Amino acid sequence: MKSNLVLIGFMGTGKTTNGRRLARKLHKEFVDTDTLIESRSNMSVEEIFSSYGEKYFRKLEKKIVREISKKNNKVISTGGGIILNPENIQLLKEKGYIFLLESSVDNIVYNLKNSYKRRPLLEKKNWKSEIIKLLNIRKKLYYNSADFIIRVDNKKHYHIVNEISKIYSRNVNKDIKFNYKKYKNNKINY
Ligand code: S3P
């Protein structure tokens, strides 16, 4: 049965903040792919991008996904580009439900106004139009990867966290009932 919750979405949609709160609420361990990449390589995401480039960063990202997707009972916040490799999503779905945090461009711009310089892909002069450009390229990938879509605009963190945890509980209960039925019909051997 799936016991992980995976948060995907564009930069500045609140994956880390909401993920941490969600983990606390559901008594699960919180993991963040960027933080893991940084601690394993002893470098910040910016340093990795500037010294070795995006391709190398994606390799490290894939390696971390391979590792954490095997674990159970985790809330996993991912970097905004996790959807660029379909294998990442396939792996994360094996033990987890994928929640897309969906946000308007205005909200993303507002959330990133003090931190866009720490995002190597947004370091360009016109970072706002870069957001629009990247979102257009990625939009389809985000939607196709998601099991559930959560709108985050104008919502407080507790509201977002409650929404996700309700959906999660409902689905876990459905899975339990479904497996029990299969078990009763002798379709599953325990
Ligand atoms: C990226 C998003 C960042 C980080 C890296 C690349 C992306 O994570 O992984 O800068 O490609 O969208 P956040 O989404 O947490 O900002």
Determine how β-strand 74-77 pairs with β-strand 4-8: parallel
| pLDDT tens digit sequence for 105-141 | 999 999 999 999 899 999 888 999 999 999 999 999 9
CA of 165 to the centre of ligand 1 (A): 24
Give yes or no for a contact between 119 and 11, defined as CB atoms under 8 angstroms apart.
yes
CA of 157 to the centre of ligand 1 (A): 20
Task: Tell me the residue ranges of DSSP E strands in 10-118.
Answer: 29-32, 74-77, 96-102
Q: In the chain, which stretches have pLDDT less than 70?
A: 186-190
| Residue 121 CB less than 6 A away from ligand 1 | yes
| Residue 119 CB less than 6 A away from ligand 1 | yes
If one residue of 31, 55, 121 were mutated to test the ligand 1 pocket, choosing by the most ligand atoms within 8 A of its CB, it would be 121
In this structure, the dihedral spanned by the alpha carbons of residues 10, 14, 15 and 20, taken in order and rounded to 10 degrees, is 170
| pLDDT tens digit sequence for 166-184 | 999 999 888 777 777 777 7
Give the pLDDT score at 46: 96
Give yes or no for a contact between 98 and 86, defined as CB atoms under 8 angstroms apart.
no
Give the pLDDT score at 188: 56
pTM higher than the cut 0.75: yes
